[in-house]
Amino acid sequence: MTVGLLYDSTRCVGCHACSQACKEQNKLPGEVQDHTTAYTWTVVKEHEGAFVRQMCMHCLEPSCASVCPVGALHKTKEGPVVYDAKKCMGCRYCMLACPFEVPKYQWDRAVPVVGKCIMCYDRVKEGKATACAEACPTQATVFGERKELIMDARERMRANPSGYQDAIYGIKEVGGTGVLMLSGVPFASLGLKTGLPEEAPPMRTWQVLSKIPDFVAIWAASLYAIHWITKRRDDVAKAEGGE
C-alpha cells in the first residue's frame, strides 16, 4: 500500500490553509513565506489566476533518499519520504539531487538541518490524513491510497473533460510520485517541471554502483597480473644479464 496526496488545482482557492496547517502540525517557526524554505514546507502559488501547491512530491523512487550517504532520508513502506535529523551530516546532496528542488536548508543556523514535507508521517502511521489535507476547505488536497487517488483523478477528468488537462502530473515523472496533481491549464504554465525523465534518476547511479564489486575484483586481479608479469620479466632479464 502506498499512500499519497491528490492536489486539484481547479478546486484550489489559494487560501493558504494548508501552509498554515503544516506550520502548526510540524511546529515550524515563523510566518508562512511566499516560497518554500526550511521553515515553510508547502506554499500555494498563483500563476495567472490558477493556483499550484509546492511541496515534496514523495517520489516512488526518491532521488533524495538514494543519494543520502547516511540514509537520513528514507522512503517508508507507507509512502512518505521522511527525514531523520539525527543522522544527517549536512552534505546537502539531497538538495542537489531532488528533481523538484524540495529539500531546503537552515542557512542561518550554526547547527542546521534539512527541512521538507514528510507527509505528516506520524499522523499517517496512525491512519489519519495529513494536516494539509484535513485543513483544505475545498478538498483541493485529498489524502488517500495512491491507486485510489489515481482512480479518483481519472473520474474527475472524465466528469469534466474540458476543465482538465489530459494528464495527471506525477504518474510518470521521474518514475512516479506519491503526490499527484490535476490542472486546468498546462502544467508548465503553473511552473511545474515538465520534460522530466520517466525513468527514476536513482537507476542511473545504481547502474554504475551495482557494477563496482565485479569491477574491483577484475581490476585488482589485472593489476596483480601486470605486476607479476613485469616483475618476472625483470627477474628473467637480470638472470640472463648474469647479474
Residue 120 interaction partner, one of ligand SF4, another protein, none, beta carbon < 5-8 Å per kind? ligand SF4
Compute the least distance from the CB of residue 207 to another protein, in Å.
8
Binding of residue 44 to ligand SF4 (CB under 6 A) = no
Q: Are 200 and 61 in contact (CB under 8 A)?
A: yes
Q: Which residue has the cell 538541518?
A: 113
Q: What is the distance between the alpha carbons of residues 27 and 25, in angstroms, rounded to a whole number?
A: 6
Q: Which of residues 91-110 bind ligand SF4 (CB under 6 A)?
A: 91-94, 98, 100, 102-103
**Does residue 17 interact with ligand SF4 by CB under 6 A?**
no
The verdict on 120 binding ligand SF4 (CB under 6 A) reads yes
Query: Would strands 179-182 and 3-8 be described as parallel, antiparallel, or unpaired?
Result: parallel
Backbone angles phi, psi at 114, to 5 degrees: -85, 145
Please report how close the Cβ of residue 39 comes to ligand SF4 at its closest, in angstroms.
12
Q: Which is nearer to ligand SF4, 131 or 149 (CB)?
A: 131
Q: Which does 106 bind (CB under 5 to 8 A by kind): another protein, ligand SF4, none?
A: another protein
Binding site partner of 57, from another protein, ligand SF4, none, Cβ cut-off 5-8 A by kind:
ligand SF4
Contact string (CB under 6 A) for ligand SF4, positions 214-233, x = contact: --------------------
169 touching ligand SF4, by CB under 6 A: no
Closer residue to another protein, CB minimum distance, 148 or 219:
219
Amino acid code (one letter) for 9: S
Residues that bind another protein (CB under 8 A): 37-38, 63, 66-72, 87-93, 95-97, 99, 101, 104-113, 174, 193, 195-197, 201-202, 204-209, 212, 215-216, 219-220, 223-224, 226-227, 230-231, 233-234, 238, 243
Interacting residues with ligand SF4 (CB under 6 A): 21-22, 25-26, 41-42, 55-59, 62-64, 67-68, 70, 72-73, 81, 88-94, 98, 100, 102-103, 114, 116-120, 130-132
